[in-house]
Structure 1
């Protein structure tokens, strides 16, 4: 089997099974595990898979910069943002992550709502400037331009002084076994810190983020409370998350 044929077969297996187990595949194809791993390394370099211990998972298509993400599944993100905004109650302190889906949450908060939003995203803060009843606490730090959020030691230190009701988290990957992930290490640390300061964490998860993984782990799914997903995500997909005790809000 030619290299190109092997790679195409690997991608077909990934699409069919949702994962690649290198040992099992090497036995099925009569090839060495080293050959499979080499192919996976090359596919990962092309952004087509995310390597994990023992094999690979689908790579998240959401690991692109902020501008590009604005064009990715935009209708779904509007719906998810609207549904998440309805979960915010008067008087609450909520943490709102950076990212294009979080922007939609900010845009859909009720004009009558009086609450406090904590964010490390200048974009989110600017969205909320016209809102008459929202007090905005903007956390500073080094600006990570890729996602337009603050990161670093200064950011994590400031987060430690916050106690919130709910954190609406943005991610690039949600996977039953591999948990929550994102494409930058510092972002992963900041998201984990934010989650630790909220009574509950709700993940904003458009369909391209479900069942995929990115390079840096934020937390296992057992550390969050629920997901906000598109209305037409199949039940066989959401059931796997509900079995872990997560609430599912359909947009």
Structure 2
């Protein structure tokens, strides 16, 4: 069998089953595990999957560039953003993560709502310029261009002095076995620092992130309070999370 044929079979199996176990696949195809592992390495280098111990899992579509991500699950992100905005109460201090959904959340906040928004995202801060009652605290640091957010020691030091009522977290991977993940080590560290300072953490979970895994762990589900999903999200994507008692909220009535 040609390498291209094996890779096509691997990707097809990943799409259908949500995982690849290298040993099982090597037996089924009559090739060595080393051959399958090499195929997985090459597919991972192309961003087509995420290697894990013993095989591979789907890679998140949320790892694309910022412009491309704006068009992924756009309607779901708008719905989730409006649901999240409805959770915010006057007088609260909220932390908005970087990302396309949190920008929509910022824009969805009522113009007359008096709150303090802390963010390390210039995009979120800019989206709040026409909200006259919102006090914006922008965290500084070195900009991670993929997400346009501040990262590094300066950002984490600044965060350590602020406690928020709610942290609206964005991630690129949400998986029942591997928890919440993202594609950059320093960005993951900043997210953990924010989570530690928040009374409540709410994860904004559009469908392309569910069942996907990225390279760097953020936190486990025990560290968050709620996953916000769209009412259009397929139940088969949510079932593994419900099975481990993750709290899921949506606009379902």
Q: TM-score range by the shorter chain?
A: over 0.9
Map of 2:31 onto structure 1 = 31
The answer to whether 1:68 aligns with 2:68 is yes
Tell me which residue corresponds to 1:78.
78
CA shift, 1:5, in A, is 1.4
TM-score normalised over the length of structure 2: 0.95
Contact 2:210–2:238 at 8 Å: present in 1 too? no
Query: Which residue in 2 is equivalent to 1:128?
Result: 128
Contact conserved, 2:115 with 2:135, CA < 8 A, in 1?
A: yes
Residues 80, 228 of structure 1: 8 Å contact kept? yes
In structure 2, the partner of 1:185 is 185
CA-to-aligned-CA distance 1:209-232 (integer Å, 9 cap, x gap):
110111211122222111111211
The SS at the match of 1:87 is coil
TM-aligned CA deviation for residue 6 of structure 1: 1.0
For 2:222, the equivalent position in structure 1 comes to: 222
What displacement does 1:67 show? 2.0
Is 1:158 the counterpart of 2:158 in the alignment?
Answer: yes
Q: Secondary structure at the match of 1:242?
A: helix
Asked if the contact 1:118–1:136 (Cα under 8 Å) also holds between the matched residues in 2, the reply is yes
**How does 1:4-23 map onto structure 2 within 5 Å?**
4-23=4-23
Identify, as 1 or 2, the structure richer in strand: 1
Match of 1:50 in 2: 50
Aligned to 2:248: 248
1:66-215 map, 5 Å: 66-215=66-215
Shift of 1:34: 0.5
Q: Show CA shifts across 1:115-140 (max 9, x none).
A: 11110011111111221221111111
Q: Is the 8 A contact 1:222 1:244 kept in 2?
A: no
Structure 1: distance between partners of 2:12 and 2:68: 27
Structure 1: gaps of 5 or more residues = none
Q: Distance in 2 between matches of 1:84 and 1:67?
A: 23
Alpha-carbon distance in 1 for matches of 2:18, 2:69: 23
CA-based RMSD of the aligned residues comes to 1.3
Shift in Å, 1:246: 2.6
Instruction: Return the alpha-carbon distance in structure 2 between the equivalents of residues 244 and 73 of structure 1.
Output: 25
Residues in 2 aligned to 1:20 and 1:145: alpha-carbon distance in whole angstroms:
32
8 Å CA contact 1:83–1:249 kept in 2: the answer is no
Q: Which runs of 5+ in 2 are unaligned?
A: none
Partners of 1:20 and 1:232 lie apart in 2 by 27
User: Separation in 2 of the partners of 1:111 and 1:223?
Assistant: 31
Distance 2:139 2:188 in 1: 16
Closer, same or farther in 2 for the Cα pair 1:236/1:70, shift >3 Å? closer
Check whether the contact 2:21–2:56 (CA below 8 A) recurs between aligned residues.
Answer: yes
